[in-house]
Amino acid sequence: MKKITYMSNLILALLILGLAITLISATMVILSNTPLLSYNSASGTNMWIGLEVSGSWQHAAQRLSSNNYNPILWLGIMQILPLICINCILIRLFRLYQQGVFFSVKNSQCFSWLGAILVFQFVMVAIAPALVFTIITAIDGIELKRVVSISDTDIISLIAGLIIFVIGWIMKQAHQLQQEQALVI
């Protein structure tokens, strides 16, 4: 129990730090289009904290850049939304673990939401660039070739999402069994 509380505290601190960095980076990009930290020294040290479009959206980001659109504003912000949600859910889950609550309905809800967001993220990865390009075409009349790009990591995260979703159901079932077991005299 002490180990769980200790590790939960550590993970909570890391999650909160990660969330804070993500939120500050996003705010800085939206307000001034500058990274949170950018440090280069003569010895070759390079430190950078900010937002960038990664994964299967990189090609779409390059196309946006070549057409003078800011890829961070059009895609980067959208890309971090599921990450922020996942971070918030994990904070909630580890706060429950910290309090010694392991198999309650709230825990199973966290797992279900986590799985649902990972599945939603896969759908978003698939359709968002095409949707953004359609919006740009509709607004500015610039014809951008719409491409649906899915990488192996997206498929892995989809499978992980489905597995976590099922774990959420199993935990809910386990909670019901636990409640019934308490009523066996």
Partner 1 sequence: MPIIIDLDVMLAKRKMKSSELAQAIGITAQNLSVLKAGRAKAVRFSTLNAICQHLECQPGDILRFVDEQA
Which residues bind to partner 1, rule: CB under 8 A? 180, 183-185
Nearest to partner 1 of 42, 183 (CB atom) = 183
| Residue 128: count of CB within 10 angstroms of its CB | 18
Rg, the chain, Cα only: 21
CB of 183 to partner 1, least distance (A): 4
CB of 170 to partner 1, least distance (A): 20
CA 83 to centroid of chain Cα atoms: 2
CB of 176 to partner 1, least distance (A): 11
The one-letter amino acid at 154: D
Residues facing residue 49 across a β-bridge: 37
Please report how the helices 58-66 and 105-140 are oriented relative to each other, as an axis angle in degrees rounded to 10: 30
Nearest to partner 1 of 54, 176 (CB atom) = 176
CB of 182 to partner 1, least distance (A): 9
Nearest to partner 1 of 139, 185 (CB atom) = 185
Nearest to partner 1 of 146, 175 (CB atom) = 175
Which stretch of DSSP H or E encloses residue 14? helix 2-32
